[in-house]
Every structure is written in C-alpha cells, then in structure tokens.
Amino acid sequence: LSIEKRKQISVRGIAGLGDVAEMKRSFNRHLHFTLVKDRNVATPRDYYFALAHSVRDHLVGRWIRTQQYYYEKDPKRVHYLSLEFYMGRTLQNTMINLGLQNACDEAVYQLGLDLEELEEIEEDAGLGNGGLGRLAACFLDSMATLGLAAYGYGIRYEFGIFNQRISGGWQVEEADDWLRYGNPWEKARPEYMLPVHFYGRVQHTDSGVKWLDTQVVLAMPYDTPVPGYKNNTVNTMRLWSAKAPNDFNLQDFNVGDYIQAVLDRNLAENISRVLYPNDNFFEGKELRLKQEYFVVAATLQDIIRRFKSSKFGSRDPVRTSFDTFPDKVALQLNDTHPALAIPELMRILLDIEKQCWTAWDITVRSCAYTNHTVLPEALERWPVYMFEKLLPRHLLIIYEINQRHLDRIAALFPGDVARLRRMSLIEEGDPKRINMAHLCVVGTHAVNGVARIHSDIVRNTVFKDFYEVDPEKFQNKTNGITPRRWLLLCNPGLADIIAERIGEDFLTDLQQLRKLLDFVDDEGFIRDVAKVKQENKQKFAAFLEKQHQVKINPESMFDVQVKRIHEYKRQLLNVLHVITLYNRIKMDPNKHFVPRTVMIGGKAAPGYHMAKLIIKLITSVGEVINNDPAVRDRLKLIFLENYRVSLAERVIPAADLSEQISTAGTEASGTGNMKLMLNGALTVGTEDGATVEMAEEAGHDNLFMFGLRVDEVDELDRRGYDARRHYERLPELKLVLDQIRSGFFSPEQPELFSELVSMLLHHDRFKVLADYEAYVDCQERVSRLYQDAAAWTRVVIRNIAAAGKFSSDRTVSQYAREIWGVEPSHVKIPPPNEPPITPQS
C-alpha cells in the first residue's frame, strides 16, 4: 500500500493505535491456534482465516447483544424467505460496517501482509443466480442498518452458482465447491435442528386430519451474522442444510442391507446439495420442489417456536394464542419460490395448533409476496401429480383455498365462467397444474412489483383480474442497492471525494447525494471525479492483464454490459452494434473513431442453448476484431469470464457506459443499472424496469434513452412483427447479419450461427432488429459526448447526484412501513464493552 493511501483520512475512519495493537494481538493468537496442530509455516489462506476470525470476534458480542435486545423488547419480527442469497465475500463488508477497516489495514501492514491480497483469498458465497438473490443480500444489509428485527431464511447450498470457464469460445460449467476450505462466517446450530416431512398419506380422523407414514429429513441451521452500518446491530441469516436422520432407511422391515441404507442417506441430503442455475426460467423438477418445501417447513417451525417464547434464552412456550401472530410476525416471500409457506402455515394452524378456518385470516395478514418477473416461462406451475406424491396434505389445503377463493369470485361475478378459469389456482389441462403466483396473490395481504413500470404491468396484465377484486393489495416497491457495498467498499476513491464535499452522512441517507448538484460546474470536483474513474479503469485493465492475459486500452471508453445472458436482455443487440463499428472502421480506416472497449459478462443457464450460442458469438466476434491489425486500439470486444459479485465490485467502478437494453416491458427492475449509475457510468437504455425512474431522477437529457416503449411493443405484437423489413431497409444491419450467417466470424464452422440469424429474422420475441437503428444512433450520441471530457463528467456528476432514490435503505423503509407494519429504528445498541440499554430507554 502506498504511504499516501495509508495516510489518507477517509470515510473508513481513522484507526486508533489501541485498535491496531489489539487487532495484531488477535490476529497472532488466531494464527497460532491455526498452526499449532501440525504445521509451522503459514500459507496465505492461514493469514486470511486468522484475519477473518479476528474480525468475527468483534461481531459475536454485538450479535448476542442484538438478539438479547430483541428478546427483551419483543418487536414485530420480519422474516425474508428466499431460495437465493447472493452474498459474495464477507470480510471487507464486515470490516466496513463495524468501522474496523483502517485498523485491520494498518495491523496487517505492520505484520508485513497486504490486506487486498488476503481479501482475494475469500470465496464468493454464490448462493444466487443474479438480481433476485443479490437483492436479498442488499436487503439484509439495509434491514440491519435500519435496526429492524429481521431474519433472512434460505438454503445452505453445498454448491452455489457454477463457475464459468470459457473453452474454445464456449461456456463450460464447473462445480462451485465454495465450502472446501470451510466458512469462517457461519455457525452451525444443531440444537435448533428440525424435522421436515415428505411423501406419506393423509388420514381424516375424529380428532382432525393427520399426515402419516412420511419420510423425515432433518434441517440443520447455519447462522451467519449480518451487521448493520456502524449501529452495533447484528441480525441473522439462517440457512438450512439437509441431514438424514440416524434411522434413515433402517426402520421398519429393512432386509439387512445396512451399508446400502447408510449410503442412501445421500438421497435425503441431496436437498441442499446444489443451487438450480436458472434465472427467469421455471424447471419443474421434483428436487426443486423439495428444496422449496424444505426451506419453508423448517423456517415456519423456527418462527413459531420464537413466537411462542418471548424471554431471552427460554424455549418454554409462553404464547398459546395465535391471534397476535400477524402483529408479531411478517413473512416476505421473495418471488413464488417460497409460496408453500402459505399452505404450510395453514397446515400447522389447522392440524397441529387445532385452529379453525380463521387460520386463513392469520396467514393472509402475516404473508406478503414480491413478484419478480412477467415472463411466462418463468412462472412456477407445478403438476398436481407431484403434489399428490410429495405433499399430499398441502394439495388438499390448496384445493380448499381455491374452492373458497372461487366461491368468492363467483359471488362477485355470477355466471362469469371464463373469469373463474383465469383466476383459479388450479390450471386444467394434462397435467393439471398449480399456479403458484395465483396462490401467492390470494394468500397474502400485499403484492408488490419491483419498479413502477413493472408494478403497472403486474396490475394491468399479469394479475389484472385479481387487481379488479382487491386493488388495495397491489403496491410498488422500486428496488435499491446497498451503498455500503456498492460505493464505499467497491469504490473508496469516489466515496472519499464525495465525503470531502458533503460529509459522510450520505452512506445512510443516500438522498444527500443531491447536494453534489452544487458541484456540477466545480472544476476541482470535475477533475477529481474524472481522476477517480481513470484510476479505476487503469486498475481494472491491470487486473484483466494479470488474471486473464487480456490487454485493453484504459484511455478507451469502457462500455459494459454485465448480467445473466438471456435473449430478453439483448446482449445480441450489443454485438450487432460492435460489428457495425468494426465494419465502419474497416470501410474508412483513416477516419477518427472514439476508442471503445466493449465488455460483456454473465452466465448462461446450462440448459439454455440460445444463451450459450450467444456467448460463443461474442467470443467469436471478439476473436476477429481483437486480432485485426487495422482496428488497433480503437475497438475491442471482451467477454468477462465467470461474472460474479466479486468481479462486479471491480468492473462497475471502472465502467464509463452502462448497457441496459432489454426489450421494454421485460426487465422487472434491474439493479446493476443502479450500481453503475452510482459509480459514475452513464446509461444507454430502453424505457424498461427502474431505468425509467433513473431517467426521471437524473433528467432524461442525462441518460441515453432509445427504442420502443411498452405500448409500442404491444402494438407491434398486435400488428405482427416483421423483422425482415428492418433487414431489407438498413444496409449496415443487412451486412452484419449476412456476415454472421455466412461464417465470417466462424470460418471453421460457417453454419454455426445460422439458427441465431434465423431466430432474429423469423421468431424473435424480443424485437432486436426493431431497435437496432435507434440503438446505433443513440451510441453515436454517446461517442460525441465522450469526446468532451468535461461535459461528460458533468453529466456523470448529475447521475451520481440523482442516484439517492436507489438505495435499498429507501426500499426497505417502504416495505417496513407499508407492508410489514414496523418502523425503522436509529437506536444504536451499545457495543459489548458498554452496559446494555433497557427496552424502556
């Protein structure tokens, strides 16, 4: 680390000498206990674990005190249920939120080590696919920072999202064995292990309904602390791991094959083995349904145990009535994946707690549902036969819910059979299916979309019939991102120059960034913003060269599209533009071109053929352009391999241009768009998702907006979309498609991309060619502005100043007040070395 960097007084806080000495002592103690066993030479990984355990020591006292405070105060608790939590790395985030980063930096430096090198050793916790899982992680950070008594509940997948390797230009998947070296941030809690039941049969008896002869799988909780930002609050993310009971396959009439019975334990434990790698796509596999029920069944038992006991450390039930349950418990369903919480809570209340159907009111008032997609292929529709086999009791409860729901609709709309069919939870057909989104709408008191345009589509199309009956249920909650990870952690240089101008409070009140509008014409600030961006670009260029042997020009515009590879996100439109630029350079090599490095990164679902072909096209086009001497440094196309949270933290601060080019009406919100805006990239985008609101906040003149709007897309669908019209009308587009189809970019296999071109011309749901001309024109406006560095940077400052709305603190505060019925708290719990506050104080 440079002396200048170490001396810098930054928003990360000044380290006291005592803090540094204490951290060194702690580090050496942990290192000693790591090594005494059988080695006397430390590896870099030993140093990482010593540091992680030293930082964890600072968490534990705050964690215990926070939970103690909740038990004594007995607030309403929020439970965020998600099949995905895309956390990334934990060390640096924990240091920042506890105010320890400078003390650790200095301690590690004095010990002759480099903090950044140690941080690089940590594996990403990749327990998510993309936006939905990363949103859950941002929400956990905000819930802790806002002092909410909140819990994240999910699955501790042994293997997270696959690691992506590019081999011969194609994506190859490798298992993500992220727990191989252990996880210093989790604590197993075997004392809270719970049984989860599958299969079996239902018996109606005089004393109620019984679910009998089930197979039991145990759910073992692993707790990870979630610290708020400098408020001493530490919440819990509890992830369940599947474990076979000791008598698994050994009960009853086992014929003595003891070895096989023990080996078969794997079948039960497979439930938490691997994250399904699909984003915005439903794959109706039985194992996935088991995962969805597993997390819900374990979580609800845990919530009810906690609801019944209210004294710290006591597990004796003290509450017996469930009337107050919705006043003490909020359940937020992150998409339909945890939808089984609704029939499972009903099963517990009806069959175990012996409630009557008033349990339905308790369930609805406790649960709320966030919708994340309007793409039909993403909606969960489980075959009834799967429920009959796996969850027979839940199927009966869903039938009863549906009957009462349809009775109500029939009373409101007599004789409207078509409406009953549209609104039923059960879709007729072969096979019959359960529509989980309908179950969620009927079984919750609040349904929200994740950006205003998305919530409008939810109300007016996807759930139109339901909105007509219960309009008060439907809300909007525009997504947000945590500014701790997505500014302070990943872009400390930018955070510092902002703090110098407006103070540090923006980190917990991001709307304060508006004050930066006073500095739009301040030459010193313009210079600082441009300097930080250039440093980030040079650092990223050095990283690419070191890690991937890819050389790029840091003086070029960094044009970045990082997100899952999906036809609706239109990475293809980006590639068509890149080829167009290439052709222009080749036609007139002496003309001045604004140099660009186009970077595309993202994973394709392993079974998504077209997405994998798109990756191959990107790498093939890059191969031609990057090796053409006529192009020189003016154009590069780079595919960023294995895009993940830790890579996002490097590329986002370095980006100049943010590509948000999905077909209008397809991207529910997007959050990468917000991260790039906050880090000083300008947006080229369609009127889709939260990009619409970004343009409102910054002013439309400060984003590069183009393309069809939602109503125009709908009109095209009604009229019939003719892609060939654009192909025949636009010579540049025709040339590009002919090159791709003829094998110009795949001379070894000339036919390789013909199906891709055929799709674009004949059955492209996402209308790439319809927006091509507007997109290319828009990109010319981008290049023109980029040539005037000061003018560009002024627009950058206006964008950063307008990013305040997109903090997840704002989003979570709105959920808290408008859905969960709780108020964010700015109470700072005293640290462990000070006396605790009483609930009255």
Query: What token pair was written down for 269?
Result: 């434990």
How far from 10 is each of 96, 120, 481, CA to CA, in Å?
12, 22, 22
Q: Which fold has domain 551-792?
A: Rossmann fold (3.40.50)
How far from 379 is each of 280, 364, 382, 435, CA to CA, in Å?
8, 21, 10, 8
Query: Which entry of 569, 616, 634, 767 is annotated as an active-site residue?
Result: 569
Region 755-773 average pLDDT = 98
- Active-site residue 569, yes or no? yes
8 Å CB contact between 272 and 156: yes
Query: Which entry of 145, 663, 671, 691 is annotated as an active-site residue?
Result: 671
Query: Which entry of 675, 767, 794, 805 is annotated as an active-site residue?
Result: 675
Report the C-alpha gap between 531 and 96 in whole angstroms: 24
- Active-site residue 372, yes or no? yes
Q: Using one digit for the tens of pLDDT, what is the confidence trace for 651-679?
A: 999 999 999 999 999 999 999 999 999 99
How far from 563 is each of 50, 478, 517, 571, CA to CA, in Å?
34, 19, 30, 9
Residue with tokens 């970019």: 745
8 Å CB contact between 586 and 393: no
Q: Using one digit for the tens of pLDDT, what is the confidence trace for 5-31?
A: 444 445 666 666 769 999 999 999 999
8 Å CB contact between 369 and 665: no
Give Cα 411 to chain centroid, integer Å.
41
Report the C-alpha gap between 253 and 241 in whole angstroms: 28
The predicted structure's pLDDT at residue 318: 74
The predicted structure's pLDDT at residue 319: 81
Share of the chain above pLDDT 90, in %: 90
Q: How confident is the model at residue 234 (pLDDT cuts 50, 70, 90)?
A: very high
Among 396, 306, 292, smallest CA distance to 351 is for: 396
The dihedral of CA 459, 463, 468, 473: what is its sign? negative
Report the C-alpha gap between 427 and 331 in whole angstroms: 26
State the DSSP H helix or E strand holding residue 73, giving kind and residue range, or none if neither: helix 44-73
Q: Using one digit for the tens of pLDDT, what is the confidence trace for 495-548?
A: 999 999 999 999 999 999 999 999 999 999 999 999 999 999 999 999 999 988
The predicted structure's pLDDT at residue 255: 61
- Active-site residue 810, yes or no? no
- Active-site residue 577, yes or no? no
Check residue 289 and give left, alpha or beta (phi > 0: left; psi -120 to 50: alpha): alpha
Q: What is the 3-state secondary structure (H, E, C) of 355-395?
A: CCCCHHHHHHHHEEEECCCCCHHHCCEEEHHHHHHHCHHHH
How far from 133 is each of 105, 140, 148, 280, CA to CA, in Å?
30, 11, 20, 12
Does the structure show a pLDDT above 50 at 190? yes
74-88+124-479 and 551-792: same fold? yes
Query: Which entry of 65, 433, 459, 563 is annotated as an active-site residue?
Result: 563
CATH annotation of 74-88+124-479: 3.40.50.2000
Q: Using one digit for the tens of pLDDT, what is the confidence trace for 696-731?
A: 999 999 999 999 999 999 999 999 999 999 999 999
Residues 6+ apart with CB under 8 A from 644: 88, 124, 126, 161
Q: Count Cα neighbours of 163 within 13 Å in the Cβ-side half-sphere.
A: 11
- Active-site residue 233, yes or no? no
How far from 181 is each of 89, 108, 121, 129, 432, CA to CA, in Å?
14, 22, 11, 22, 45
Q: Which position has the higher pLDDT, 34 or 222? A: 222
How far from 490 is each of 366, 486, 540, 645, CA to CA, in Å?
37, 6, 12, 11
In this prediction the pTM is: 0.96
Listed in sequence order, the DSSP H helices in 687-730 are 691-698, 710-719, 723-729
Chain mean pLDDT for the chain: 95
Q: Write the burial class of residue 450 (CB in 10 Å: 0-12 exposed, 13-18 middle, 19+ buried).
A: buried
Query: Which entry of 564, 636, 726, 805 is annotated as an active-site residue?
Result: 564
| Domain positions in the chain | 15-73+92-121, 74-88+124-479, 551-792
Q: Using one digit for the tens of pLDDT, what is the confidence trace for 325-371?
A: 999 999 999 999 999 999 999 999 999 999 999 999 999 999 999 99
Q: Using one digit for the tens of pLDDT, what is the confidence trace for 76-121?
A: 999 999 999 999 999 999 999 999 999 999 999 999 999 999 999 9
